Amino acid sequence: MLQRAGEKIDSKEAVLKIKDASYPAPFASELEYNSPVHGNWNIVHTGMQVPESIQIYVCADNCMRGVVLTAAEMNAADRFSFVILEEQDLLNSNLEDITVEGVTDVLNKRGDHPKAVLLFTVCLHHFVGSNLDYIYSELEHRFPDICFIRCYMDPIMQKHGLTPDQKLRKAVYDPLPECEPDERAVSVLGSDFALNESSDIKRLLKRYGYTVRELPTCDTWQDLLDMSKGKIFLDIYPAGKYGMETQARRLNREHLYLPGSFNYEEIEQQLKQLTDALELPELTEVELTREKESCEAVLTAAKDLIGDMPVVLDYLYHPRPLGLAKLLLIHGFNVKAVYLDGISPEEKDAFDWLQECAPELELIATIQVKMRVLPRGGEEEVLAIGQKAAYFSRSCHFVNLVQGEGLYGFDGIRRTAELMMEAYREEKDTEQLVVQKGWGCECCL
């Protein structure tokens, strides 16, 4: 973005008061800026969770750079292969043959046959109208002992329809076989992180002797296949909802979408949905009161410690940033800004409440192009919740967690307050931490 030397950049279009914001798109969709904050997971990270598998990408070398580096940074280069497409391949051949023969060559040269291959086709396959059914059927014929999982790296679809991330969170469960359900098993689909053992769902299911299966805890291919035994499929992460619902319909399983929340009433209602679906006793009023009182105690302790220190937070920490801002404001925290680029329909109620009760709260974009040159941080130290909030505010007191990690329910509220207190007490090297790709996965940086 060119600018005249010494010219001051107006923050308009990148920063606004929530009272002036439009739902669901407070900022215009235009040229985008990609900050050096890389803690969120991408399709390589998510795909690597499939045990005993490899990934093969078929694309041009300019697109290959990022995914190759991600695999290397994960110390998983041995599970990553690629087929480079060149201009002559498009002019003098067809992508069906190039893809089939390229993947065949990769597998023959490897000398081993993994249980599964996550085969990623790309934008070029869409542009030239490749017959993907033929590609996969031919590979399945040549390698009948390998499960080929249909994956896509087609960012041209990022703004329209399902994203590559959503499609992958469905594809990784395509191998689940039809089987009779285990009456004492629940499968959690769609998340990059396993639920914390202290989470409301885990504690409730453990009380009644249920087995909980999640992809992040699968060590073998058979562990993944056993996820189909769940009597009920659950999803708590928005990007996994489509995949969970699709697999539940295919395998004839009851399913529940129970997204993480910072609202007591919504958490209570979700836990009732779960107990009703499993025909278990509801949590008693005494138990629910105890959970809420525990949350209140930790939030009070956090407020007493943090005082009036400004707080900023972002959507990367959790899919419900406005709900978190509402919770903190209700409990007296000095919340100044929320970093986000759009507003989820799940946050409409929180958005309306904030417009009315906290009209001066700032919404700040993270991909609006002016964010590249606008000053970061200020004279006052702030406590940041999330990597992007920490980066843009230049805070060394921040909660380093992405995508909701394993947080859920009342326990998630308590854990958030505890992490805020940790962030207040301890400084972090923000510039070093936020550049690491895929927070929480193995990384050599």
**Chunked in runs of 10, what are the mean pLDDT values of the chain (445 residues)?**
61 96 95 94 95 95 87 92 86 86 96 94 85 96 97 76 93 98 97 97 97 97 98 98 98 98 98 98 97 98 98 98 98 98 98 98 97 91 98 97 96 98 97 90 58
Matching CATH number, 51-171, of 3.40.50.1980, 3.30.1490.20, 3.40.50.720, 2.130.10.10: 3.40.50.1980
**Can you give the pLDDT at residue 445?**
44
User: Which secondary-structure segment (H or E) carries 223?
Assistant: helix 221-225
**Can you give the pLDDT at residue 219?**
97
Helix 200-207 to helix 264-277 angle (10° resolution) is 30
**Can you give the pLDDT at residue 5?**
47
User: Please, what's the largest Cα pairwise distance for the chain?
Assistant: 72
Strands (DSSP E) contained in 189-323 are 211-214, 230-235, 254-257, 311-314
Is residue 15 within 8 Å of 386, Cβ to Cβ?
A: no
| Polymer length of the chain | 445
**253/293 Cα distance (integer angstroms):** 35
**Can you give the pLDDT at residue 392?**
97
Give the ranges where 93-220 is alpha helix by DSSP (H): 95-110, 123-127, 132-142, 164-171, 200-207
DSSP letter assigned to residue 339: E
Q: Where are the domains of the chain?
A: 51-171, 182-277
The closest alpha carbon to 135, from 56, 225, 246, belongs to 56
Residue with tokens 């950049």: 9
C-alpha 277 chain-centroid distance: 26
**Can you give the pLDDT at residue 129?**
83
**Can you give the pLDDT at residue 433?**
93
In terms of Cβ atoms closer than 10 Å to its own Cβ (0-12, 13-18, 19+), residue 158 is exposed
3-state secondary structure (DSSP) of residue 387: helix
Instruction: Count other Cβ atoms within 10 Å, centred on residue 254.
Output: 13
3-state secondary structure (DSSP) of residue 48: coil
C-alpha 54 chain-centroid distance: 21
**406/386 Cα distance (integer angstroms):** 15
Cis peptide upstream of residue 51 (ω within 30 degrees of 0):
no
**428/432 Cα distance (integer angstroms):** 9
Q: Do domains 51-171 and 182-277 have the same CATH topology?
A: yes
What is the CATH topology of the domain spanning 182-277?
Rossmann fold (3.40.50)
**Can you give the pLDDT at residue 394?**
97
Q: How much is the CA Rg of the chain, to the nearest whole Å?
A: 23
**148/150 Cα distance (integer angstroms):** 6
**116/225 Cα distance (integer angstroms):** 12
Q: What amino acid occupies position 167?
A: K
Beta strand pairing call for 15-17 and 362-364: antiparallel
End-to-end CA, the chain:
29
The closest alpha carbon to 164, from 67, 48, 79, 42, belongs to 42
436 backbone dihedrals φ, ψ, rounded to 5°: -75, 130
The pTM score is 0.94
DSSP letter assigned to residue 346: G
Q: CA 132 → CA 139, 154, 255, 418, distances in Å?
A: 11, 14, 30, 49
CA angle (397, 399, 400) in 5-degree steps: 115
The closest alpha carbon to 327, from 390, 385, 393, belongs to 385
